[in-house]
Amino acid sequence: MRRLLTGCFVTLLLLLNTLLLIGPLLVFALLKLVLPGRYRDDASKAVMWIAETWAEVDKLIFRLFIPTQWDIRGGDDLRRDTSYLVISNHQSWVDIPALIQALNRRTPFFKFFLKKELIWVPFLGLAWWALDYPFMKRYTKAFLAKNPELAGKDLQITKAACELFKRQPVTVVNYLEGTRFTAIKSNQQQSPFTHLLKPKAGGVAFVLAAMGEQLDAILDVTVVYPQQKIPGFWNLICGVVPRVIIDIKTRELDPALWQGDYENDPLFRGKVQNWVNQLWIEKDQRIDALRAERC
């Protein structure tokens, strides 16, 4: 019963925090639509400050009302005036609060690439747009086979969406697995990794092609739950997740990783895939080492 009450109380606090701040955020979002020039950038900064404040209040709620220990390692060199590409494993919705704990107000507010259609989601679409989340347009191979004149157009659209980041630093988060890890999915994929699904190089290649010149470094983030079972978000807010390890390693970003045509150049595609696979081999080994610490 105590865990249930904790979960309900924390849920209420998180909801109140969101309701209190979504109004001001949407006001500045509307101002972005009508303000010209540098005033629009000022509105963007205000929206970002509200989002970071929302995240900080969430962190305070977690610190006061749940006993989870956030074991953050590395990242001593993080800066708010630098643009990062975050590459992380993905196991649970708890991964998002883990990133907030590790990165909020230590790096630029992080963003995810979203499908262009999501901009029409009521309220959230406007909020994501105001937060400068890049909306991407991806054409399928079947569509391009019927409309070859549109080849490369999706990348141009996404690059245009990222133009703002030439004036502002950004942290872009990419989950290479494309979905949350489970033992069932791992078996279905016949994944060669113990703790990870097979990485999808195409997604990160698209991000690098769209934003490579604007990114300064890679944050290789490894999230580990030392307990045997991967927890869900409800477990977290009920106070039954004792510890979360967030391991951060800063890596240099090789310009050669975006100076090529991933879709049409087999040699370049192989190079990016080899880089991703090596990253994943090292991450799988890192998870083994971090989990072994509990023994």
Domain limits, the chain: 69-292
d(CA 194, CA 97): 24
Token pair belonging to 293 = 């610490």
Please name the amino acid found at residue 92: S
Task: For the chain, give the mean pLDDT.
Answer: 87
pLDDT over 80 at 165, yes or no:
no
CA neighbours closer than 13 Å in the CB half-sphere of residue 117: 2
* pLDDT in the model for residue 111: 85
* Beta carbons within 10 angstroms of residue 20's beta carbon: 12
* pLDDT in the model for residue 145: 65
pLDDT band at 258; cut points 50, 70, 90: confident
CATH topology of domain 69-292: Glycerol-3-phosphate (1)-acyltransferase (3.40.1130)
Q: What is the pLDDT of residues 60-89, one digit of tens each?
A: 999 999 999 999 999 999 999 999 999 999
Q: What percent of the chain has pLDDT over 90?
A: 52
- Helix intervals (H) in the chain: 2-34, 37-65, 95-103, 124-130, 141-146, 153-161, 183-189, 201-211, 233-237, 266-292
pLDDT over 60 at 295, yes or no:
no
* pLDDT in the model for residue 141: 67
* pLDDT in the model for residue 294: 59
Q: What is the pLDDT of residues 36-55, one digit of tens each?
A: 777 888 888 899 999 999 99
Stated pTM of the model: 0.88
Q: What is the pLDDT of residues 261-288, one digit of tens each?
A: 888 889 999 999 999 999 999 999 999 9
* pLDDT in the model for residue 167: 77
